[in-house]
């Protein structure tokens, strides 16, 4: 019981336009992030596992339409929803993941069900949904996942014959669009919509979880880094728990999260140093943009990103929650933040 519990979450990274972000919009995001990280921290404070804390935090992020996961998921170019998620237990290095599920209310819970109730690590599509129905997970009709903002974003992407790396708002819809507070204004080509959580519990165990709705106007069947261990999600008690958000293909090609853990294990680098090397030096070699959140076995938290901002929050036992969007003095390492 010597560990000091801590948790960190993210809701996506990218070029988040200060000029378009109103005080009301910023407050909504910060309030949501603080509320969700506090809920996860409470699980830890009561002696709950890191696995339970990240499961709850990501489920709450999926339930919030501000973020591109679960209810807030973006549309494929066929007008469907296809969601991916993964979860990993740092103590046992067991993991579960789902890809291309369309009706599961909380994909992170689906990933955990795969981990705990199947002999597999990754399941996809209809086969995964049938398995999840047999285990009683909540399902929703397509209307549950529909939001006007996401639909408008799809129409704009279709007009431009492009694939957008997540939601934006009035700036995406054009100058004549009505003001909206849902979601916050973002550069449409530089916003990466994924959510995730990492945690260290009082028993000294680590866990990580990541979930996403993918990219607006993506081809049906496209799967990014989120459900791929070592790319979008990774946890090992010997090194760190990590969750990524960004250019999925770059995280996949570089195995970015496993690279961080390998540097820690084989080179003896700190989490801060390894994460900085990967996010700031290596990802750009793959034209990769985005960020990661990580926590090591000592409770050091890092949240580096190579974009203008990243929706993020963190909390340690005995302290209040902190949330941020833009770069700050503590954007790389939070191990000494009070």
State how far the Cα of 110 lies from the Cα of 96, in Å rounded to an integer. 8
Confirm or deny that 223 is annotated as ligand binding. Answer: yes
DSSP 3-48: ---EEEEEEEEEEE-TTT--HHHHHHHHHHHHHHHHHHHHHHHTT-
Please list the residues that pair with 246 across neighbouring strands.
Answer: 290
Contact 73, 66 (CB under 8 A): no
Closest CA to 308 of 330, 331, 286: 331
State how far the Cα of 163 lies from the Cα of 166, in Å rounded to an integer. 9
Please list the residues that pair with 316 across neighbouring strands.
Answer: 6
Look at residue 73 and give its three-state secondary structure.
coil
Confirm or deny that 247 is annotated as ligand binding. Answer: yes
Closest CA to 194 of 165, 163, 234: 165
Contact 289, 307 (CB under 8 A): yes
Confirm or deny that 222 is annotated as ligand binding. Answer: yes
Contact 239, 111 (CB under 8 A): no
> In terms of DSSP bridges, do strands 122-124 and 95-101 run parallel, antiparallel, or are they unpaired?
parallel
Contacts of 188 by beta carbon, 8 Å cutoff, 6+ apart? 153, 156, 164, 165, 168, 171, 172
Position of tokens 């963190």? Answer: 314
Count the neighbouring beta carbons within 10 Å of the beta carbon of residue 29.
23
Closest CA to 6 of 44, 36, 63: 44
Confirm or deny that 268 is annotated as ligand binding. Answer: no
Q: Is 246 left (phi over 0), alpha (psi -120 to 50) or beta?
A: left
Count the neighbouring beta carbons within 10 Å of the beta carbon of residue 311.
27
Confirm or deny that 11 is annotated as ligand binding. Answer: no
- Write out the catalytic residue numbers: 194
Give binding residues for substrate as ranges.
Answer: 222-225, 245-248
Give binding residues as ranges.
Answer: 222-225, 245-248
């Amino acid at each position: 019981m010597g560990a000091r519990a801590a948790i960190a979450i993210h809701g996506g990274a990218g070029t988040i336009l200060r000029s378009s972000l109103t005080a009301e919009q910023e407050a909504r995001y910060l309030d949501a992030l603080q509320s969700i990280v506090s809920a996860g921290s409470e699980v830890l404070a009561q002696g709950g596992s890191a696995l339970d804390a990240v499961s709850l935090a990501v489920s709450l992020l999926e339930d919030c339409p501000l973020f591109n996961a679960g209810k807030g998921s973006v549309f494929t170019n066929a007008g469907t929803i296809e969601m991916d998620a993964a979860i990993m237990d740092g103590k046992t290095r067991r993991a579960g993941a789902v890809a291309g599920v369309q009706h599961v209310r909380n994909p992170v819970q689906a990933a955990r069900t795969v981990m705990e109730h199947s002999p597999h690590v990754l399941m996809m599509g209809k086969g995964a949904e049938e398995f999840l129905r047999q285990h009683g997970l909540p399902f929703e009709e397509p209307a549950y996942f529909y939001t006007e903002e996401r639909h408008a974003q799809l129409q704009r992407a279709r007009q431009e014959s492009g694939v957008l790396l997540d939601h934006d708002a009035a700036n995406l819809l054009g100058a004549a669009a009505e003001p909206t507070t849902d979601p916050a204004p973002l550069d449409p080509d530089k916003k990466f919509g994924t959510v995730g959580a990492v945690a260290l519990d009082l028993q000294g165990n680590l866990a990580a979880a990541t979930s996403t709705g993918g990219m607006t106007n993506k081809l049906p069947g496209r799967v990014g880094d989120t459900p791929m261990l070592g790319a979008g999600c990774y946890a090992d008690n010997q090194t760190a728990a990590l969750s990524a958000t960004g250019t999925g293909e770059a995280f996949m090609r570089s195995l970015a999260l496993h690279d961080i853990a390998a540097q820690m294990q084989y080179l003896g680098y700190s989490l801060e140093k390894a994460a900085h090397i990967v996010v700031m030096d290596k990802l750009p070699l793959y034209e990769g943009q985005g960020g990661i959140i990580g926590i090591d076995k000592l409770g050091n938290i890092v949240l580096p990103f190579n974009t203008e901002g990243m929706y993020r929050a963190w909390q340690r036992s005995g302290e209040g929650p902190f949330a941020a969007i833009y770069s700050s003095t503590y954007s790389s390492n939070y191990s000494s933040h009070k």
